[in-house]
Structure 1
Amino acid sequence: MPSPTPPRTPQLPDGLSTRPLQKSDAHDVFVLMAAQEQQDIGEVAIEEADIVSDWARPSHDLGARSIGVWDGDTLVAYAELMGVDRADTSVLPSHRGRGIGTWLAHWLADLGRRLGSPVIGMPVPQGSPADRLLEALGFRVRWTSWVLKLPEGASIPERDLPEGYTIRTAEPGELRSVHDVLEDAFLEWSVRDREPFEDFEAATTGRPGFEPWNLRVAVDPDGSVVGVSLVLVSDNGSTGYVDRLAVRRDQRNRGIAQALLVDSFARAREHGTTTAELSTDSRTGALPLYERVGMVAESVWVNRALDLEPTTENAV
Structure 2
Amino acid sequence: MSVISLPPGLTTRPLALADVPAVVEVIAEQELHDVGAVEIEEADLLADWGRPSYDLGTSSVAVLDDERIVAYAEHLGEERYDAAVAPAYRGRGIGSWLADWAQRLARERGVAVLGMPVPEGSAGDRLLTALGYHVRWTSWVLRLPAEARIEERPLPPGYALREAGPEDHEQVWTVTEDAFLEWSERERATLADFGAQVWGRPGFEPWHLQVVTGPDGRVVGVSHAWNSTGDDLTETYVSRLAVAPEHRGRGLAQSLLVTSFAAGRARGATSSGLSTDSRTGALSLYEKVGMRPASTWVHLAITLS
Normalised-by-shorter TM-score class = over 0.9
Q: Tell me if 1:276 matches 2:268.
A: no
Partner of 2:255: 259
Counterpart of 1:137 in structure 2 is 131
C-alpha displacement of 1:156? 4.1
CA distance in structure 1 between the partners assigned to 2:292 and 2:229 by the alignment: 22
Whichever residue aligns with residue 207 of structure 2, its letter is W
Match for residue 80 of structure 1 among 55, 62, 74: 74
Three-state SS of the structure 1 residue aligned to 2:236 is: strand
Counterpart selection for 1:222 from 216, 226, 229: 216
What residue number does 1:209 align with?
203
Give matches, 1:86-165, under 5 Å: 86-165=80-159
Alignment partner of 1:31 out of 25, 31, 45: 25
Structure 2 CA distance for aligned equivalents of residues 302 and 9 of structure 1 = 27
Q: Out of 238, 242, 246, which is 1:242 matched to? A: 238
| 1:184-204 deviations in Å (ceiling 9; x for gaps) | 000000111000110011111
For 1:118, the aligned partner's letter is A
Alpha-carbon RMSD? 1.0
Aligned to 1:296: 292
Q: 2 CA distance for matches of 1:75 and 1:97?
A: 17
Residue type at the aligned position of 1:249: P
Normalising by structure 2, report the TM-score.
Answer: 0.97
Give the letter for the 1:255 counterpart. G
Q: Does residue 68 of structure 1 match 2:62? A: yes
What one-letter code is carried by the residue in structure 2 that aligns with 1:131? Answer: D
Contact 2:220 2:244 in 1 (8 A): yes
Distance in 2 (alpha carbons) for counterparts of 1:82 and 1:152: 33
Residue 11 (structure 1) aligns with:
5
Secondary structure class of the residue paired with 1:229:
strand
2:150–2:262 CA contact under 8 A, matched in 1: no
Q: Which runs of 4+ in 1 moved over 4 A?
A: none
> How far apart, CA to CA, are the structure 1 residues paired with 2:128 and 2:215?
50
C-alpha distance after superposition, 1:162-189 (max 9, x if no partner): 1021111001111010000000000000
Distance of 1:205 and 1:148 partners within structure 2: 24
Counterpart Cα distance in 2 of 1:114 and 1:197: 27
Give the residue type in structure 2 aligned to 1:276.
S
Does 2:43 align with 1:45? Answer: no
Q: Distance in 1 between matches of 2:160 and 2:137?
A: 34
Q: Look up the equivalent residue of 1:175 and give its one-letter code.
A: H
Q: Secondary structure at the match of 2:12?
A: strand
Percent of pairs with identical residues: 55
1:132-156 deviation line (CA, Å, top 9, x unaligned): 0000001111110001111221134
CA distance in 2, matches of 1:167, 1:210: 19
**TM-score relative to the length of structure 1:** 0.94
Structure 1 gaps, min length 5: 1-6, 310-316
Give the Cα–Cα distance (whole angstroms) in 1 for the partners of residues 191 and 54 of structure 2: 13
Q: Distance in 1 between matches of 2:58 and 2:176?
A: 28
Report the equivalent of 1:194. 188
SS in 2 for 1:202: helix
AA aligned to 1:272 is G
Query: Residues of 1 paired with 2:214 and 2:287: CA distance?
Result: 27
Gaps of 5+ in 2: none
- The count of residues paired between Structure 1 and Structure 2 equals 303
**Take 1:278 and 1:231, find their aligned partners in 2: how far apart are those partners?**
9
1:222 is displaced (CA, Å) by 2.1
Measure, in 2, the Cα distance between the counterparts of 1:156 and 1:266. 7
Which one is further off, 149-158 or 46-55?
A: 149-158
- Structure 1 residue 231 displacement after superposition: 1.0
Per-residue CA shift, 1:83-109, capped at 9, x if unaligned?
111100000101000000000000000
